[in-house]
Amino acid sequence: MNNIAYYNGTYAPLEELTIPALDRAVYFGDGVYEAAYFRNGRPFALDDHLKRFKNSLGFVKIAYPTESEEELEKILRGLCDKIGGEGIVYWQTSRATAPRNHAFPENAKSNLLAWAKHKPLGDFTAPIKLMTMDDIRYKMCNVKTLNLMPNIMASQAAKESGCDEAVFVRDGLVTEGSHSNIHIIKDKKIITHENGSLILPGTVRSHLLRVAEKLGIAYEERPFAPEEMYTADEVLVTSATTFFRHACELNGRAVGMRDNETYMQLVGEYMQWMERETE
Amino acid sequence: MNNIAYYNGTYAPLEELTIPALDRAVYFGDGVYEAAYFRNGRPFALDDHLKRFKNSLGFVKIAYPTESEEELEKILRGLCDKIGGEGIVYWQTSRATAPRNHAFPENAKSNLLAWAKHKPLGDFTAPIKLMTMDDIRYKMCNVKTLNLMPNIMASQAAKESGCDEAVFVRDGLVTEGSHSNIHIIKDKKIITHENGSLILPGTVRSHLLRVAEKLGIAYEERPFAPEEMYTADEVLVTSATTFFRHACELNGRAVGMRDNETYMQLVGEYMQWMERETE
């Protein structure tokens, strides 16, 4: 079994699962989501994802999709367990199934769509190529909603330019990637955009800082300009499904790859932690 | 029959219609839409909507959902005809049904979801209440995508404040409503935000200017501050499903309602045209 999906109590192969056309995710993108890595059928950092999920729901005033938080956790762990091995568990909650009206429906009952699929992590340390792009997104990037059109367009543009990820720039400063957080290492110090409405509070971003602290590596939370990326020793690209990647190119110019020691130290510590958690 | 819905060749009552969980509308909001009024089972200004629909598709590089434009038109007219009388026809096209990846799937085949439902227009000239709200939306508001979370949140906030519509303000200037365009009339002249990435090129917005020209009423396309709304003679709120409304209140203060003659002249001319088109 390569994948298994769930919707409001029903299980089916992901390709066969259907949902009502009147689920507000379908016509408004009115929902929030999470995606986490699992190994040995056990989700990694699930608590962090569930906490952020709850925050996202709160921001947009969507009801929790299950009777209890434990119930959601049980469903998600069950999906991972059914697939086993290594993969991604994804889940989203939309506000309701209701006739199309902008304002919230009365007595809204939220929906839970989830799936787990087999997907090996592979060697994520292979250097990647980046390109910058104007950050035209809405100013609630801290909420992980289903409104991802600008992210999709940026990802596709990056792909068409032979790049692996797009780096958003707003008012001259790097915010984050189209589906990742961006950081630099300069003189053994990590520099990363502070949390707020302009970036997603990445789970791996917070892990990066936790691991850095443990290793005695300094960090500073502030935005940086693309120019700083060119002179950085390493450019890091983090996400829950690809962990700690690093970049060798930005807009066709060589970047980073000058402090592999620090990079591999961070990666090594992170992987040890992840492996302990998913044994 | 109160409604009828369509998805890629299948017809069903809207409440019963289902779509694949892997339609990219579901998890990315990766699609564009239109909604038009119909009367006597005949859609009004369908050409304008179809033209904008095609523009939206082009902006986000989504393939046309039917073999020909005539085929889509036939499906939409068929839905309106099946319901008859007065109502709304809605349709949306998402990029593809495919496993979740940000970049576009190869050989994407786009999806068409559509429905027509009975909904009387009623007396839209009853004055409405407005409130301003910070415009945090992305900067591609000219494209009618399914990414509507900020619009939903604004609509709901307006409703909770006893208002009928939210008016977005960006950098001190009014852009548009959460699901309408906003205009003012001052000294017999219409002032309306120019088209561009900050507002939707409303079909009724363009009709308003066409009708004004016919009536010899001057207009100017430029943004205005909320302060100008307080001193305006009329504040107009237009949309394809509610036509020409006007406001009596903004943020709890009285506005407009001082040039009913011009307002009713515009409404009268518009309704005559609409009625001719849908006889």
Nearest chain B Cα distance for residue A47, angstroms: 22
Q: Do B152 and A14 touch (CB under 8 A)?
A: no
Which CA distances in Å does A72 have to A37, A87, A91, A102, B66?
16, 18, 10, 27, 40
| Best CA proximity match to A169, nearest among A154, A159, A184, A157 | A154
In chain B, residues with a C-beta closer than 8 Å to the C-beta of A179 are 102
Mutate to test the interface with B, among A93, A153, A198 (most CBs of B within 10 A): A153
**B150 and A140: CB-CB below 8 Å?**
yes
Q: Which residues of B touch A197 (CB under 8 A)?
A: 136
Active site residue B82: no
The rounded Cα B79 to chain-centroid distance in angstroms is: 19
Report CB contact under 8 Å: B156, A102.
yes
pLDDT in tens, chain A (279 residues): 899 999 999 999 999 999 999 999 999 999 999 999 999 999 999 999 999 999 999 999 999 999 999 999 999 999 999 999 999 999 999 999 999 999 999 999 999 999 999 999 999 999 999 999 999 999 999 999 999 999 999 999 999 999 999 999 999 999 999 999 999 999 999 999 999 999 999 999 999 999 999 999 999 999 999 999 999 999 999 999 999 999 999 999 999 999 999 999 999 999 999 999 999
Nearest to A103 among B92, B136, B155 (CB): B155
Asked if the Cβ–Cβ distance from A152 to B33 is below 8 Å, we say no
The pLDDT score that the predictor gives to residue A129 is 98
How many C-beta neighbours within 10 Å does residue B149 have? 25
Q: How far is A217 from chain B (nearest CA, A)?
A: 33
Q: What's the count of helices (H) and strands (E) in chain A, helices before strands?
A: 7, 16
Q: Are the Cβ atoms of B178 and A102 closer than 8 angstroms?
A: yes
Closest-approach residue (CA) in chain A for B145: A149
| CB within 8 Å: B152 and A22 | no
How many C-beta atoms surround the C-beta of residue A27 within 10 A? 21
Q: What is the pLDDT of residue A1?
A: 82
What does the pLDDT read at residue A201?
Answer: 98
Task: Kindly determine whether residue A146 and residue B28, on different chains, have CB atoms separated by under 8 Å.
Answer: yes
Contact A238, A183 (CB under 8 A): yes
Cross-chain Cβ contact B20/A18 below 8 Å? yes
Range B66-70 contact pairs with CB under 8 angstroms and sequence separation of 24 or more:
B66/B112
Tell me the residue type at A226: P
- Cα distance from A59 to chain B (closest Cα, Å)? 10
Burial readout A162-171 (b: 16 or more C-beta within 10 A, e: otherwise): ebbbbbbbbe
Phi and psi at residue B243, in whole multiples of 5°?
Answer: 55, -125
Q: Which residues of B touch A100 (CB under 8 A)?
A: 90
Of A117, A129, A139, A144, which one is the catalytic site residue? A144
Which one from B144, B159, B189, B214 is the annotated catalytic residue?
A: B144
User: B20 pairs with which residues across the strands?
Assistant: A18
- Strands (E) located in chain B: 3-7, 10-12, 18-20, 31-39, 42-43, 87-94, 111-118, 128-134, 165-170, 173-177, 181-186, 189-192, 219-221, 234-239, 243-250, 253-254
Q: What are the chain B neighbours of A147 within 8 Å (beta carbons)?
A: 29, 147-150
Residues of chain B under the 50 pLDDT cut: none
Q: Inspect the interface and report whether the beta carbons of A28 and B146 lie closer than 8 Å.
A: yes
Q: A interface mutation test: which of B11, B24, B26 has the most A CBs within 10 A?
A: B26
The whole-angstrom distance between A257's CA and the closest CA on chain B is 26
Please, what is the Cα angle at A61 between B158 and B166, to 5 degrees?
15
pLDDT in tens, A203-253: 999 999 999 999 999 999 999 999 999 999 999 999 999 999 999 999 999
Q: What residue has token string 């919707």?
A: A7
pLDDT, position B1? 82
* A265 to chain B, closest Cα gap in Å: 30
Q: Answer whether A86's CB lies under 8 Å from A120's CB.
A: yes
